[in-house]
Amino acid sequence: MTRFEVENLRLAYGHNTVIEDISFRVTQGEIVGLIGPNGSGKSTMIKALSRVLNPQSGRILLDGNNISGIPRSELARSMGVVPQTPILPSSFTAFEIVLMGRNPHLGLLRYESEQDMAITWQAMARTATQSLAERRVGELSGGEIQRIVIARVLAQQPETILLDEPTANLDISHQLEILDLIKMLCRENSLTVVITLHDLNLASQYCDRLILIHNGLVHAHGTPEEVINQANIKDVYGTGECVYTHPVNGLPIVLLKAGSGRNALPEDTINPRNKETEKE
Amino acid sequence: MTEQVMNFRPHWRRRVYAIAGMIIAAVLVVVLATTIGSVKIPFLTTFRVLVSQLPFIDINPDWVNATETIITDIRLPRVILAGLVGAALAIAGATYQGLFRNPLADPYLIGAAQGAALGAVIGFLLPIEFSAMGFGVIPMLAFTGAVLSVAVVYILARVGKTVPVTTLILAGVALGALWGSIYSYLIITSGERIHGIIFWVMGSFSLSDWSEVAVVLPYVLIGVIVIMLYSRSLNVMQLDEEQAKQLGINVEKVKLILLAAATLITAAAVSFVGTIGFVGIIIPHAVRLIWGPDHRFLLPLSVLSGAIFLIIADLVARTILAPTEIPIGIITAVCGVPFFLYLLRRRKGIVYF
């Protein structure tokens, strides 16, 4: 079943066009990764998919309905977003922030019920943030805030989750923890996930399909093996030979070698000792 | 698990108790402020006179008629008006602070006070007398000035379909400065009327009666109810606007409704008694320091604290140098600032906004 249908999307900030013309589909229950260099428009795509940014042209269908016609509260019940660097009011407690995930489910006059509290608590349990519940978010670390915001999106109980670089502030163990959790939720509850990642290795490990965005267009689209290959990576990132195969599960991995980027020096001057001898 | 969830209830219980306690305190302060004045009336007599005014309660009057007149027709309307204005300015301040996510915001930030003052000064200088909907010339023009000023700011700050908060503040501060310079010029050229104008700008309840309460009350009541309905939205809007939208808030709509409600109650509050300062900025901060930032408690507690604070401030203003009255704006600053600084020091090092 198709969840998202993106048709000929064109996105811009004023006169500065970021996405020229992009179309793709996302099926229910799959994890789709948006990858591409800095400034390629990955985050802009998340803004458009969550209707924070209106497209210049083209349209986005969610379950067959154009999202521009869906009321915000209804949209928020079916779609939750984890922003890249969430700004949180520092004096609220972590529990209060996670509880805000229940907002789209409550009317103007309704307070959170015991059930809302239980759902919130469960969301915190799944992200291992219960011990932070009474702490003010101003006192939390970047990684803790990231997990609080993921707990909030779980409390929202959406069918689709959009994540913008959810692992940017996390160490490797928390990166795995969060992405494993997302993958598990996706498999268990058949959630649909659209995730932007700049870490190509994580994208390769966790996504069912990848969309490589470059110069406002889809440069490549398909399974990790189809997208992360020597030619695509060189075309888009301009790096030298760097794509290998994971020794355990055979998925593509990217291993960088010093001196293979755009600013690479000629081979013989890389070793600083050579320079010194030249001077003398 | 539910047991652990229950641990978060005490927080809420503490805040609910606080609201109940503040309601009782407000009633006591009303009685106290009605008792004290140039004519000595015992506390209990005041209490019984006030209770006898309530419907369905019969108390055999053992007091003279003059006492009842002083209490119900002279002191009580003034006390009630002070309470209403304090409540209005405090909740408007809390709303603006929440809406703008800015601790420096107060009800006057985007031009309401300067607009009201300009209107009032024009009213003082106009050689005509009229009244409409219970407003005399000066309150009418002050109210209109406040509402028009904020409306112009809102329209000027519009960018496409959105009204960015920073643009709103900057446009408000700029227009406020413009109105300020115009009314300052009018004041220095106003001749002997300057005393009345300055008293108005600093605020005074000296000419309050029931008709003013009747005009101000509906605005404050409706405004407070509307703002309270959006208290959870205001909480979610403490995240940035993007997250608020993604959590189902129609940000521009809520912003417009809250701005309109807060501006109307501010305009109604200042139109009769002048642009009283400090209440709108200090009370919400004090409440936040004591009871936390959740708007569902911050707003009602600000209403009650603002009412209590301004009733006491007015009491001080009319008694401390009696029979001379001090402009209430001076009292709010002199009494309010030390208390606020004490709270601020006590919570030093802990983020609270």
pLDDT of residue B64: 79
Residue in B101, B294, B353 nearest the CB of A96: B294
pTM: 0.87
pLDDT of residue A108: 77
* pLDDT band, residue B255 (cuts 50/70/90): very high
> Residue A7's beta-bridge partner residues?
A59
| Main-chain phi, psi angles of A58, to 5 degrees | 85, 180
pLDDT digits (tens, 9 = 90+) for A246-259: 999 989 999 888 87
What's the whole-number mean pLDDT along residues B286-311? 93
B161 to chain A, closest Cα gap in Å: 11
Domains parsed from chain B with CATH numbers:
2-346 (1.10.3470.10)
Percent of chain A with pLDDT over 90: 55
> Residue A99's beta-bridge partner residues?
none
Query: Mean pLDDT score of chain A, rounded to an integer?
Result: 88
pLDDT digits (tens, 9 = 90+) for A27-75: 999 999 999 998 889 999 999 999 999 999 999 999 989 999 999 999 9
Domains parsed from chain A with CATH numbers:
2-227 (3.40.50.300)
H/E run at residue A58: strand A57-62
CB atoms within 10 A of CB B226: 17
Judged by CB atoms closer than 8 Å, whether chains meet at B240 and A87 is answered as yes
What's the whole-number mean pLDDT along residues B98-112? 87
The contact set of B with A (CB < 8 A) is 1-2, 4-5, 8, 101, 229-230, 232-233, 235-236, 238-240, 242-243, 245-250, 288, 292-294, 296, 350-353
pLDDT > 90? residue B125: no
Q: How far is it, in rounded angstroms, from Cα B183 to Cα B166?
A: 26
CB atoms within 10 A of CB B40: 7
Helix (H), strand (E) counts: chain A: 10, 12
ipTM above 0.85, yes or no: yes
pLDDT > 50? residue A279: no
> Residue A164's beta-bridge partner residues?
A196
Best CA proximity match to B178, nearest among B149, B143, B199, B200: B149
pLDDT > 50? residue B176: yes
